[in-house]
Structure 1
Amino acid sequence: MKFNINMWLRKDRISEDGRAPIYCKINYKGQIASISTNVRVAPEEWNSKGYGRITSSGELSQIHNTVLHNMRAKLERIYNALISFGKLVSSKIVKDIYQGNRKVHYKLVEIVEEFIQYREDQGLAYNTLKNSRNALRHLFNYLEKVNNKNLQADDIDRCFGDDFLLYLKKDCEVSHNTAVKLVKLIQAALDYGFKRDYIETNPLKSFEAKMRNEIKPIDFVDDQDMERLKQAEFEDKRHERVRDIFYFQCRTGLSYCDLKAFQSEAHVKFAKQGPFIQQQRQKSSTYSVVPLMPEAITILEKYEYKLPIISNQKYNKYLKEVADLCDIRMSLSSHIGRKTFATWLFNNEVNAVSVMKALGHSDLKTTLRHYAEILPKKVIEDFRQAFGLM
């Protein structure tokens, strides 16, 4: 075994009270290093199977077993970190780091990279991971600008967050709120590093920057462009399939990851009022309920209820080609389909709570802030109707 940790009882050192000390043995490629756990136990209360544990009942035994477990877990974290960051590894180095006799310095970018990998392993949503990688890219560029690409995480000063924020806003022309989110992602990465003993403290723990109440126009496909999409004929079947999937998004509000997970057998339900989609969202685990409109049903029937989903990268790339072919001036993306669906509902007098449920949101504020685009035509019609001017 390449790396192994075991607890063993030193029966050759039984004291007058009949108890023997428990030692932790680190084995890496046959190299052995031992550490005292400062826990003593009677030989008959020790089970050497597995990692080793105390078998007697009682609160003190539970505490001691917890001490042994935590010690083993910390040693494993140290080993995994050394391997992950390509550092020199030996049983003695692991022991020295555990005892505080050796300090391993980790680069800031190393910790951020591992944090992003951890998020990927957690299966977070595509856009969340995309934002994480975007933060890493900006961080690389910033460190290169300040001529400190190998900045050690321990050497970060408390001004780093403010300086990085200013760089994002001034040099990269990133909006204030987006810049704050990017810095907070680095802050979260350092917190991840702190919990794994890569750094002694999180130097960005005190970073605070309030989000501003920025209201941006919501991008969506209007009725005229929707008709262009619907009537368009393509020579390439690839463009036709992408158009159909996007149109399906515009009439169901499903995000890309939910489209990818969509299975008609599991997610299409039937009621007296008609068929509907009930699906647990990949991003938030909340459920969306979307009545299937005739146009959406037509697309499902066209593909025999098995949507021809491609990778998100290719999908967004081909969407831009579809936009050009249909003479649509805006840059289409999968998320615009979701916003188009919400805008369509709001402007056809669908209740805001129903829109929230259809989108699978758990908070109405999110729906109203990021998806509720009321068209001028709708506002004028509401006023005229309210004052009897129709």
Structure 2
Amino acid sequence: MRSSNTFGIQFVIRLSKQKKNDPATVFARISVNGRRCEISLKKKVDPKSWDEVKGKARGTKDEIRKLNEHIERVRTLIADGYHELVQQKKVITVDAVKSLFLGDDENEMTLIKLGEYHNTEMKDKLADGTMKNYYTTQKYIVKFLKEKHRRADISLAELNYKFIADFETFLSKHQPKDHQKPLRNNGIMKHLERLCKMVNMAVTMDWIAKDPFAKFKQHFDKVERFYLTKEELASIEKKKFTIERLQIVKDLFLFSCYTGLAYIDTMNLSTGNLVKGIDGNDWLITSRQKTDTDVRIPLLPQAEELIEKYKNHPKAINQGTLFPTISNQKTNAYLKEIADLCNINKAITFHIARHTFATTVTLSNGVPIESVSKMLGHTTIRSTQVYAKVVEQKLSEDMLNLKKRMANQ
């Protein structure tokens, strides 16, 4: 960590490339911690009269004397600005010194500007859903600044551990005015995680000298991964719906239960993703939108039947997809209805189908964890091992129940 700053001021001249015989322009060169910038004094001088070593003009003429006096005034103002930043214990950067001298903050990077820069740089690199999450985090930052700081923005130099801790407290106490539920711990941590990534970008760009997250520890609660048991899965499969929207969502959910595909990857499937595998049977080959990882999945009969069912569906044909597309929000809302109608007392979302594929459909039936990891498109097997622990826990519970039954015989 830097304990002191290096600071210097020099005065130099610049000649016009087109008009080399014209007078030169005088610039103040500011150096802070090895970085420098130049500010035009908007003053001209004959290059022959300039002393490069002393950084001022030579001679006794009245115009030379006035120029040198102006140079010394500028030197004093810049130095005073630097010492003011030191006394205020602000982050010392060459841009901060320059902005203070010029009397504006146009060059100062702020938290809101950082968010805008991040969005511009990352919008083509991150998935739409991920960018939507960043927009939500940035909205919370705006609310926090308005309600707690009575400001519309804040300099990055002002970010510190207390700012982060206060933002965490704000999120935990925030009461949404619409239908949304208050944030829980993991939701709060995700917002802080996104803020941390934006701040890391600022550190990389040298817009902030010290990382305010350096001593901040994020703490995620362990979340139980829900999945459908064999009996619950069968219950949904047997249920027939006369309402088309429920039947379509049920089929989409079951397709994910037998392929392990996430919602967005299921919606993006087309006939181009269906190929013959090395075994001569039908396979799905696609790429996970979340991680851009290729996945190859041999199709189970249940999945093949669902593809066949919808191959002539007008909406699917019109959209060029394997299945009719429904928004994630509506899909999850309809799944809650389906769970109620099937007497399943679990908060079912589309992602639970992926958990069900990993546990009930594959691992519980002896499919090696390495194969399951490949089909799920996990980048590391550690992600898949979570499901293996779930299966082991279920086996342990089943054996305990068996022991109790045997003891009562």
Whether TM-score is above 0.5 comes out as yes
Partner of 1:277, secondary structure, is: strand
- In the aligned structure 2, how far is the partner of 1:348 from the partner of 1:317? 30
* Residue ranges of structure 1 left out of the alignment (5+ in a row): 1-8, 22-33, 37-95
What number of residue pairs does the alignment pair up? 301
- In the aligned structure 2, how far is the partner of 1:141 from the partner of 1:370? 38
- In the aligned structure 1, how far is the partner of 2:227 from the partner of 2:236? 13
- In the aligned structure 1, how far is the partner of 2:188 from the partner of 2:201? 20
Partner of 1:11, secondary structure, is: coil
Q: Deviations over 1:146-181 (max 9, x none)?
A: 253524133333321233334445768866555444
The answer on 1:234 being equivalent to 2:250 is no
The structure that has the greater radius of gyration is 2
**1:89-238 equivalent positions in 2, closer than 5 A:** 102-104=104-106, 108-112=111-115, 114-116=117-119, 118-124=121-127, 126=129, 128-154=130-156, 155-168=158-171, 179-193=188-202, 199-201=207-209, 204-209=212-217, 211=219, 214-238=221-245
**1:174-323 equivalent positions in 2, closer than 5 A:** 179-193=188-202, 199-201=207-209, 204-209=212-217, 211=219, 214-272=221-279, 274-304=281-311, 306-323=322-339
Contact 1:323-1:329 at 8 Å conserved across structures: yes
Contact 1:158-1:204 at 8 Å conserved across structures: yes
Partner of 2:134, secondary structure, is: helix
Distance verdict in 2 for CA 1:189–1:294, change over 3 Å: same
Farther-moved stretch of structure 1 (235-244 vs 305-314): 305-314
Moved over 6 A (4+): 170-173, 380-385
Q: 1:281: how far off?
A: 1.6
Contact 2:273-2:284 at 8 Å conserved across structures: no
Contact 2:267-2:325 at 8 Å conserved across structures: yes
- In the aligned structure 1, how far is the partner of 2:137 from the partner of 2:387? 22
Distance verdict in 2 for CA 1:208–1:244, change over 3 Å: same
* Structure 1 counterpart of 2:337, one-letter code: E
Farther-moved stretch of structure 1 (339-348 vs 99-108): 99-108
Partner of 2:283, secondary structure, is: strand
Partner of 1:152, secondary structure, is: coil
Q: 1:224: how far off?
A: 2.4
- In the aligned structure 2, how far is the partner of 1:321 from the partner of 1:381? 29
* Structure 2 counterpart of 1:204, one-letter code: P
Farther-moved stretch of structure 1 (352-361 vs 221-230): 221-230
Farther-moved stretch of structure 1 (216-225 vs 162-171): 162-171
Give the TM-score taking structure 1 as reference length.
0.64
* Structure 2 counterpart of 1:236, one-letter code: I
Distance verdict in 2 for CA 1:307–1:168, change over 3 Å: same
